[in-house]
Amino acid sequence: MPTHRWQKSSYCQEGEACVHISVSPDSVHITDRPDPPRAILTTSHTAFRALLAHVRSATTAT
């Protein structure tokens, strides 16, 4: 199993409701808790950028 260097979202509130990401040369890994991670979603950098763009546009539209 690869070792990930997890980074917590800057929008994280106190408690366990956080998103953590780990970036590798070929992919982005996303989990809700880094230690130990329960489930890890792995996606491409392109798909992750598209997700961020969608979330940002949905946030500014409201």
| Model pLDDT for residues 7-57, shown as the tens digit of each residue | 888 877 776 678 899 999 999 999 988 777 788 999 999 999 999 999 889
Sequence-ordered alpha helix ranges (H) in the chain:
45-61
The pTM of the whole model exceeds 0.85: no
Return d(Cα 4, Cα 33) in angstroms, integer: 12
Cα Rg of the chain, angstroms: 13
Return d(Cα 48, Cα 54) in angstroms, integer: 10
Place of tokens 């392109």: 46
